[in-house]
Structure 1
Amino acid sequence: MLRLPEAHRDLFKKPFGTLYRDIRELLPQLEGRAVYTVGDVVTHNLLDAGIVPDIAIIDGYTMRLPCTHSPLLQERRVTAKNAPGTITDELVDAIDEMVRDPPGVIFVDGEEDLAVIPLVLAAPYGAAILYGQPGEGAVLRLVDASAKREAASMLRVFVRE
């Protein structure tokens, strides 16, 4: 398991991609791409816009409060444990499995906030990853070599336990 030290938490507050206030603004960039979401609200909003993500990573909460509109996708569902402030091997394995054989939902028992990092590393080039930026909107990160380098760099501040 990897744990994010308290001293480095601020590094993960700025968007890891382009922030959009309204999810409808980013929809044209999703055409022809594999689409992955991290978070209940962004997944719900994408479904409301008529797009079903290939992979959704959700935990049933938003901003640590129960999410009353968690998406109920009809795809294969895998559960992974992941405590707040960590990236567990179980979560990484679930992401790797789902990326190899989409579509599906990864339901996180714990917190999914940091799942975007291993998801970028596992996702194919050209995929679109969306996650929520609390109180601000949705972040879109297109997977390319730069995204993979940045995600790998982010992992280096974690401590293996």
Structure 2
Amino acid sequence: MLVLPKESRKLFKGPFGILHRDISTVLPELAGRTVYTVGDVVTHTLQKNGITPSIAVVDGQTMRSPCSRMPEFSGECIRVENPAGTITDDLVKALTYAINHTPVTIVVNGEEDLAVIPLVIAAPEAAVVLYGQPHKGIVLRTIDAGAKAAAQELLGLFVRVGA
């Protein structure tokens, strides 16, 4: 399991992509693209707008409280453990599997926020990853070599714990 040290957490507070204040500005950018989501609210909001993500990573929470807008599960459902502040090997395996077996909903027991990092690394170029930025909007990250390099750099801040 990879653990994010406390001193590095501040580096993850800003958006890892382009911040959109409203879903209406995101929707035109999704046409013809493979879409992946991380977060219950952003997944639910896309589904409400007629878009089912190829991969949705959810945890039943929004801002550390139970989510009242649960998305519908699409395709195969994989359940994984992923404590807050970590990226578990099981989460990475589930994401890697999901890339090749869409549609998949990954239900995380713990916290899904950091799944954006391994998802960007695993995703094919030209796909998009969307996630919510609390109280600010939706972050859209288009997958390209720069996104993958930035995600690898962030992943390098984690410390491996255990076998």
Q: Return the TM-score normalized by structure 2.
A: 0.97
Query: Unaligned stretches of 5+ in structure 2?
Result: none
Distance 2:87 2:63 in 1: 18
Give the structure 2 partner of residue 104 of structure 1.
104
Q: Return the TM-score normalized by structure 1.
A: 0.98
Contact 2:79 2:107 (8 Å CA) reproduced: yes
Contact 1:24 1:49 (8 Å CA) reproduced: no
Q: How does 1:2-151 map to 2 (within 5 A)?
A: 2-151=2-151
Shift of 1:68: 1.2
Shift of 1:48: 1.2
Shift of 1:74: 3.7
Deviation string 1:33-87 (CA, Å, 9 cap, x unpaired) is: 1100000000011111111111100000001100011112242100111000000
Deviation string 1:125-159 (CA, Å, 9 cap, x unpaired) is: 00010000001100000000000000000011100
Query: Unaligned stretches of 5+ in structure 1?
Result: none
Distance 1:97 1:74 in 2: 15
The alignment-based identity, stated in percent, is 55
After TM superposition, the runs of 4+ consecutive aligned structure 1 residues lying more than 2 A away are none
Report the AA paired with residue 35 of structure 1. Answer: V
Report the AA paired with residue 133 of structure 1. Answer: Q
Give the structure 2 partner of residue 160 of structure 1.
160
Distance 2:25 2:34 in 1: 18
Report the AA paired with residue 104 of structure 1. Answer: V
SS at match of 1:105: strand
- Number of residue pairs the alignment of both structures matches: 161
